[in-house]
Amino acid sequence: MDLELEGKVVIVTGASEGIGLACARAFLKEGARVAIVGRTQSKLDEAKAELNAGDALLTIAADMKQAQAAAEMADQVRAHFGEIDILVNSAGAAKRYAPATLKAQDWRDAMDAKYFTTINAIEAVIHRMVEQRKGVIVNVIGMGGKVASPVHMPGGAANAALMLATAGLANAWGSHGVRVNAVNPGGTATGRVLGRLQIEAQDTGKSIDELRRNAESAIPLQRYGQPEEVADAVLFLASARASYVTGAILSMDGGLNPLI
């Protein structure tokens, strides 16, 4: 299947590791030119060495919490590669809190960490896409916005807001040739999830393997997802093969939450 991604200019935020890195690798494999964005230059350097994509890859250290940094990032990509065809937002992760410890600032911090990292990146590219009457945005959000968790309420609220923004922007700009979609991963075998298992192991005295088996046994597909599987979905939504798909929010939790 030809996804028609060769030569496309793609930005992937949060791309120094995990799902973002898998997305960058997948786009490069399809012949796209990719700018990977992250907050830490050393991690970007490691990702660059791993991807080994030569002139097809650009690294930019920027904090998407800051609107000005996002705007400067987009300008840098345009200066290097030309006009931006695709934006994949994979940056940002809100902290988890026990309900009794929640403070007002925690809710604000979660919006900065997840919601505004995405919104700022969108703002940096969408108006040019509208002017050109073409462009695709794919937001990697998370099932925490659809299924409330007592320890993930601020982050879940940010995720839910991003889902509404995804649908709203798709509706607002579809007539100008801009598509906006989202992917909601559930448990995915990334460093963040595995790190959470390590903390739980320390707290409970159980082994990481036991905790992982217990978590995966609750998933109908009996395993965590892989970053590459999420990347495949992102690739499809960004491609010409999904040219009539916009405003869609795709759940990828292995069937754990049977929601309509």
Residues 17, 20: Cα–Cα separation, whole Å:
6
Residues 56, 35: Cα–Cα separation, whole Å:
8
Model confidence pLDDT, tens digit, residues 31-84? 999 999 999 999 999 999 999 999 999 999 999 999 999 999 999 999 999 999
Model confidence pLDDT, tens digit, residues 143-191? 999 998 888 899 999 999 999 999 999 999 999 999 999 999 998 988 7
Task: Give this prediction's pTM.
Answer: 0.94
Residues 139, 90: Cα–Cα separation, whole Å:
7
Residues 192, 114: Cα–Cα separation, whole Å:
15
Calculate the CA dihedral of residues 113, 118, 123, 126 and round it to 10 degrees: 180
Only one residue has tokens 């937001």, namely 139
Domains identified in the chain and CATH numbers:
9-188+225-252 (3.40.50.720)
Model confidence pLDDT, tens digit, residues 120-141? 999 999 999 999 999 999 999 9
